[in-house]
Amino acid sequence: MSAETVTIQKLGALGDGIANSPDGPIYVPFALPGETVAIARVKSHGTIMSIATASPDRQKPSCRHFGPDGVNGTCGGCTLQHLTDAPYRAFKRQLVIDALKSKGLTPDVGELVAAHPGERRRVVFAARRTEKDMLIGFNQAESHHIVAIEECPISSAAVIARLPAIKAIGAALATSAEAFRISVLETLSGLDLAVDGVKKLSDQQRRKAIETVLTLRGIARVSLNGEILVEPVKPIVEFGGINVSPPPGGFTQATKQAEDAMAELVVAHVGKAKRIADLFAGAGTFSLRLARIGRVHAVEGEDKALAALDHAARNAQGLKPVTVEKRDLFRRPLMTAELKVYDAVVFDPPRAGAEFQCKELARSSVKKFVAVSCNPLTLARDLAILVEGGYRITSVTPIDQFLWTSHVEVVATLEK
């Protein structure tokens, strides 16, 4: 380890400050462009010891777990609480511009749809039982150490208000001192907890855990390794006015505000399409909204999510027909011949993107596409395939869903 003073040139893609040195870039977490900082350095990683010249863009963090001065935070949930709003939003928008540029694409990129504190309805906590207590919190950056939290400004008030209940459930389920995960989703009927990484419970432990849950208010369901342990009331989320009961631990957008912003862009671009394919449809985030416009074919590889979508569609009023298909679109994409019946296609793949599916889409005659992505780099690759196939990008909108992190969602629209 060596000590030195460096000047930060820019923010890296993960939100670290980057300083140049004769032997390559040095990555300094919690440092901002223009700052001169004294660091303890190990290879290409620097830890701030003191700030000689602070950036005017530096602000006091919102959360005590991030660290009072924004340089020694322990909680690994946020990385950019110390950066003021305007440069923070510009940074996220630039991530999208740079990703597209790396594939030779230079469309206009809209302003970032902003996220705000208190919007996160889906939070994943790290948990572990110790000799004295039950730890519930987040992993420190690049560490397995769990920082127990008492507040979280990004999370919804309903989640934070029930931290004691979440802790009690974690304690009832912990069978050893090994760490596990508790995914918490705020639903219209209460919190939905999906616990993963706990070894099989004995019958006695299972009964005790169920009794614990039933004594707590505001808990809709608790599942363990994908199986429902107890469901006092069915958890309900709402997609465009249609109620859906998601599967245990199933994917939902992390904030309702970001989901609504994405859906508004999707629906507006699809317009009056009569036949729509929704690929990687999940439990129906877009499918159910689109079914108010035209016939929807929803394709998804996860059967429980698809069953939730199908049930919701069958029990909703005023929708056009919705058909569902279980299919692994990574191994078996919809082929060009299958696509010819659709006027519009929406796709929202996982972080890996939809490369093989986009090669088929690029050869199709579909008039309109909407691409939704949580990874600008794989989105850029997929859009480049579609552009090469004769499609034109008509809009790109970055959407902030994971406040004070380097993650950004994007909705891109295309036309033949």
Active site residue ranges: 374
Q: Is 280 annotated as a binding residue?
A: yes
Where do we find the tokens 């389920």? 173
Q: How many CA atoms lie within 13 A of 60 on its CB side?
A: 2
Which of 178, 179, 147, 148 lies closest to 164 in space, CA to CA? 148
Q: Residues 6 or more apart from 303 whose CB is under 8 A from it? A: 326
Q: Is 253 annotated as a binding residue?
A: yes
CA–CA separation, 343 and 339 (whole Å): 9
Structure tokens belonging to residue 38: 């004294």
Structure tokens belonging to residue 367: 């008039």
Task: Find the angle CA(14)-CA(16)-CA(22) to the nearest 5 degrees.
Answer: 120
The pairing of strands 322-326 and 392-399 is unpaired
Residue 17 class from Cβ within 10 Å (0-12 exposed, 13-18 middle, 19+ buried)? buried
CA–CA separation, 384 and 377 (whole Å): 11
Q: Residues 6 or more apart from 193 whose CB is under 8 A from it? A: 166, 169, 182, 183, 184, 185, 219, 221, 222, 223
Q: Is 205 annotated as a binding residue?
A: no
Three-state secondary structure call for residue 386: helix
Residue 7 belongs to what H/E stretch?
A: strand 2-11
Could you tell me which residues are annotated as the binding site for S-adenosyl-L-methionine? 253, 280, 300, 348
- List, as residue ranges, the binding site: 253, 280, 300, 348
